[in-house]
Amino acid sequence: MAIAATNPLRGILLKIASVAVFVGMQTCIKAAGPDIPAGQIAFYRSAFAILPILLYLTYQGDLRSAFYTRNPFGHVKRGVIGIVSMGFGFYGLVHLPLPDSIAIGYAMPLIAVVFAAVFLKESVRFYRWSAVLIGMVGVLIITWPKLTLFSESGLGSTAAVGAAAVLMSATLGAAAMLQVRQLVREEKTATIVLYFSLIASLLSAITWAFGWSVLAWSSLGLLAMSGFLGGIAQILLTESYRHADVSTIAPFEYCSILLGSVIAYFLFGDIPTLNTLFGTAIVASAGIFIIYREHRLGLERKAARKASMPPG
**Max mean pLDDT range (9-18, 285-294, 297-306):** 9-18
Q: Nearest Cα to 191, choosing from 55, 68, 50, 52?
A: 68
The C-alpha atoms of residue 197 and residue 205 are separated, in whole angstroms, by 12
Q: Which letter, b or e, does each residue of 262-289 get, where b requires 16 or more Cβ atoms within 10 Å of its Cβ?
A: ebbeeeeeeebeebbeebbebbbebbeb
pTM of the model: 0.74
- List pLDDT tens digits, range 106-150: 777 778 878 888 887 777 778 778 887 888 888 778 767 656 555
Q: Quick one: pLDDT band at residue 192, thresholds 50, 70, 90?
A: confident
| 252: DSSP letter | G
Judge contact between 200 and 83, C-beta under 8 A.
yes
pLDDT of residue 100: 66
Q: Nearest Cα to 120, choosing from 57, 70, 174, 200?
A: 174
Tally of CA atoms within 13 A in the half-sphere of 176 that contains its CB: 25
Judge contact between 287 and 109, C-beta under 8 A.
no
pLDDT of residue 63: 82
Judge contact between 101 and 260, C-beta under 8 A.
no
Average pLDDT on 151-175 reads: 73
